[in-house]
Structure 1
């Protein structure tokens, strides 16, 4: 952990490892943070047995985390994701001399772009030690392994906070938003984005089967699949100002995205493994998927909501 990052953290919350202590996944990225009163900075998500865990809900527990790193790198090059990420950065209003937190930063690629384009000092954090190592590898200077529910930073230390495709996965998105606001200065910006799985559309010959799979994705796969639509109201409840929301729809017809970017072909099989679909239904889903692709009839769409607001009060300005 760099000295810049330590300055942002609670002063009594950094604990050095004892001499001879084996390196932990946290220490490999420079983190032995605690968020106060013995509360660890990392709290791996508890996914109920009745759910089909989404890979990004607990990335470090995935059998092949490198595959997920590759997925995020692929997404960063996709025109849709690059475009809306650029818009998120505009909504942050970052500029030189400002401190920005990218919570759930993944590989850190977007944080690097934001820092380079705006001149702001960007701190990136993620629940995943794997992702934090990737951020370090990519050259991010300020990285912290951290749980969005218990951020290891002082109150009102950032001029802007960003959470992109994060709140859909956390245990308690409302609590995570409260934490993001806690570390944001008066006059600072909060910007969040998530897809709303309630807006999904999938064109298959068997519409009932398509809807069944999409319904399972809404209710069993993504923890907070429709949370994105509630964010403007949540921001209003917190008394935020200048609340602004936008919608961007991802539309996929490219067959490569079925297996690559979105992994649609894996959905039905995962639900069958948990008993939510019969194996014959899962096989039929994939057969119809292939048929739709072969006949140039395949279509998948989902809408992302981008929401931004300003924390009320007089900005004090950052001292870097």
Structure 2
């Protein structure tokens, strides 16, 4: 259980009854064309190249970090708080994979040419502190990329709209630590003196109920 009283595996993968199931969740998401496309856009934004050193926090199985390394020739360090995830990353060939807390990154200031956090800040205890750490370890002039779902803009198209509102509101406010954080990314960066900010929004439409359940876990939230 997380501090909101509702189980949400990505906040504490290693203490879940079946941690390997959360690896499977990430693998299913990574196979979706929508996720593959926006992940590619994140990597384009970083402008990585040979000789550069980049950091991903909340790297999960390390697939995105490995893709950036193979596609750009850059060196990539993957960080996750879960030993289960980091073990997967190492098993998949990512040698620079480290168990660490994003609130206290074990790296010197300015070490990286760029860093990114993909669907991470929604889960962490103190997103502002994690962002401060990302900015600290990226050198002046480097790039930081953030991506999170904006749960305030989600729509569940079912006949019972009152139930839909209740399920989505519960998921955003109770099921996640920071379900409404995504539209605040730009403001958080601006408050820290970052002025060259680009914001992009993408819309995912899922028409297959089973796929929606896989991606969103709607059945679990509706029964809670």
Q: TM-score, normalised by structure 1?
A: 0.68
Q: Which residue of 2 aligns with 1:193?
A: 147
User: How much does 1:245 deviate?
Assistant: 0.3
The one of 167, 173, 185 equivalent to 2:121 is 167
Aligned to 1:124: 78
The residue that corresponds to 1:9 in the other structure is none
The reply to whether residue 93 of structure 1 matches residue 47 of structure 2 is: yes
Q: Does 1:219 align with 2:191?
A: no
SS of the equivalent of 1:243 reads coil
Deviations 1:265-320 (A, max 9, x none): 11122x2xxxxxxxxxxxxxxxxxxxxxxxxxxxxxxxxxxxxxxxxxxxxxxxxx
Larger radius of gyration between Structure 1 and Structure 2:
1
Give, in whole Å, the separation in 2 of the partners of 1:149 and 1:59.
17
Q: Secondary structure at the match of 1:88?
A: helix
Is the Cα contact below 8 Å between 2:58 and 2:81 reproduced in 1?
yes
Compared CA separation, residues 136 and 70, structure 1 to 2 (3 A)? same
Give the conservation status (yes or no) of the 8 Å contact 1:126–1:146. Answer: yes
Q: RMSD across aligned C-alpha pairs, in angstroms?
A: 1.2
Aligned residues: 224
- Residue 2 of structure 2 aligns with which residue? 47
Measured in 2, the distance between the counterparts of 1:116 and 1:150 equals 28
Superposed structure 1 runs of 4+ greater than 3 Å apart: none
**Correspondent of 1:249 among 191, 197, 203:** 203
Q: Does 1:152 align with 2:106?
A: yes
1:99 is displaced (CA, Å) by 0.4
1:111 counterpart (62, 65, 70): 65
Shift of 1:259: 3.6
* CA-to-aligned-CA distance 1:183-216 (integer Å, 9 cap, x gap): 0101110000000111110011111111111110
Contact 1:257 1:263 in 2 (8 A): no
Task: State how far apart, in whole Å, the 1-side matches of 2:62 and 2:145 are.
Answer: 17
More deviation in 247-256 or 86-95?
Answer: 247-256
Distance in 2 between residues matched to 1:129 and 1:176, nearest whole Å: 19
2:7 matched to 1:58? no
CA contact (8 A) 2:6 2:175 kept: yes
Residue deviations 1:199-252, cap 9 Å, x none? Answer: 110011111111111110111001101111111111111111320000011111
Q: Report SS of the residue matched to 1:247.
A: coil
CA distance in 2, matches of 1:256, 1:213: 17
1:72 equivalent to 2:26? Answer yes
Question: Structure 1: 5+ residue runs without aligned partners?
Answer: 1-45, 272-320
Secondary structure of 2:121 counterpart: coil
Greater fraction strand: 1
Structure 2: runs of 5+ lacking an equivalent: none
Residue of structure 2 in register with 1:180 after alignment: 134
* d(CA) in 2 for partners of 1:171, 1:89: 26
Structure 1 match to 2:93? 139
Q: In 2, Cα distance between the equivalents of 1:257 and 1:234?
A: 33
- Partners of 2:127 and 2:155 in 1: CA distance: 25
Q: Secondary structure at the match of 2:159?
A: coil
